[in-house]
Amino acid sequence: YQIKLLYMLVLSFMINLLEFLSIVLVFPFIMIMVNPGRVVNNPIAIFVEQHFHVHGINNMIIFIGSLIAGAIIIKDIYSILIQYWQSKMISQWGLEVKEKMLEYFLYSPYESDLQRGNNNIMNKITVKIDDVMQYFVSKVISFISNSFVILFVFLVLTFMLPLYTILAVLFFAIAGS
């Protein structure tokens, strides 16, 4: 399951990157809406105009709006598919854990069964393992994936706006202490 967990982690990271992309695309959209003249000399706008044949401010607004909508739709569809696969994999993993736990209890001495009680054993095998697998494992994967995205955003901001990034880190470090 280590390979599948790593694969699931990578796919979850891709979902978060698509979400990051859909959020990042909002800034140029707002920039065009607020100050359309600023877009005319922007190198990215010139690149889009030349390679995608998008001419005019209105067409640029439609193009960036379509990119935002497309990124959100792709991210949501991809997220649904990954959540389905993740749930299926975690359920399969839970079945294997349940099977091992049941095997352990079936082959344990009878005296220990009398002390524990059969209802308590079945509750642990059926309910508690499902809870741990669905809630704990999926949350750990989500936490790790989100941590990588935060690190990625931090690195991008450090590269693009180092002074503001350092000031923001100092602000949050002081505010958090």
Mean per-residue pLDDT for 145-157? 82
Report which of residues 133 and 50 the model is more confident about. 50
What confidence tier does 96 reach under pLDDT thresholds 50, 70, 90?
Answer: confident
User: Does pLDDT of 123 surpass 80?
Assistant: no
Amino acid 136: pLDDT: 80
Report the share of the chain in percent with pLDDT over 70: 91
Whole-number Å distance between alpha carbons of 32 and 40: 10
At residue 116, does pLDDT exceed 70? no
Q: What pLDDT shows up at residue 119?
A: 64
Q: Is 27 exposed, middle or buried (0-12, 13-18, 19+ CB in 10 A)?
A: exposed
Percent of the chain with pLDDT over 90: 1
SS3 41: coil
**pLDDT tier for residue 114 given thresholds of 50, 70 and 90:** low
Count of residues for the chain? 177
pLDDT digits (tens, 9 = 90+) for 26-39: 777 787 778 877 77
Confidence class for position 111, pLDDT limits 50, 70, 90:
low
Average pLDDT over residues 135-141: 80
- How much is the pLDDT for 58? 82
The secondary structure of 44-71 as a DSSP string is HHHHHHHHH---SHHHHHHHHHHHHHHH
CB–CB of 90/134 below 8 Å?
yes
Angstrom CA distances, 94 to 9, 136, 153, 174, stand at 18, 12, 34, 43
